[in-house]
Amino acid sequence: MTTNINLSRILEGRTYSVLGFECETSDYALKLRKMGFIEGTAITLAPIKISDPMIFEIRGSRLALRKAEAEQVKVVEI
C-alpha cells in the first residue's frame, strides 16, 4: 500500500510523484505549480549533502525549497 507523505520527508535514491498541496488554493501552491510542481510529475531528492534548504530534481531542473515550504507538497513513492 502506498502512503502519501510530505515532500520534506522523501528519501534519496527514490522517485516520488507530486499529488498536490496542503492548501490547493493558496498563492504558494500556484507559485509551485508555475515552478513545475504539477500533479503526476516525478521528483527526486538531489544527492547534495545539505539538509535545509532541500534540493529537488524535477522536470530536468534542480530547485531548492526550505523544509517548511516542502511540507506543503504532498507526494507518493512510485
Cα atoms found within 13 Å of the Cα of residue 39, Cβ hemisphere only = 8
First vs last C-alpha separation in the chain: 11
How many structural domains is the chain composed of?
A: 1
pLDDT at 25 over 80: yes
What CATH number has the domain bearing residue 72?
2.30.30.90
pTM of this prediction?
Answer: 0.87
> For residue 68, what are the domain limits?
5-77
Query: Quick one: cell of 65?
Result: 525549497
Query: With 60 as the cut, is the pLDDT of residue 42 above it?
Result: yes
- The predicted structure's pLDDT at residue 61: 93
**Percentage of residues of the chain with pLDDT beyond 70:** 97
43-53 pLDDT, tens digit per residue, is: 999 998 887 89
DSSP symbols for 33-60 = HHTT--TT-EEEE-S----SSEEEEETT
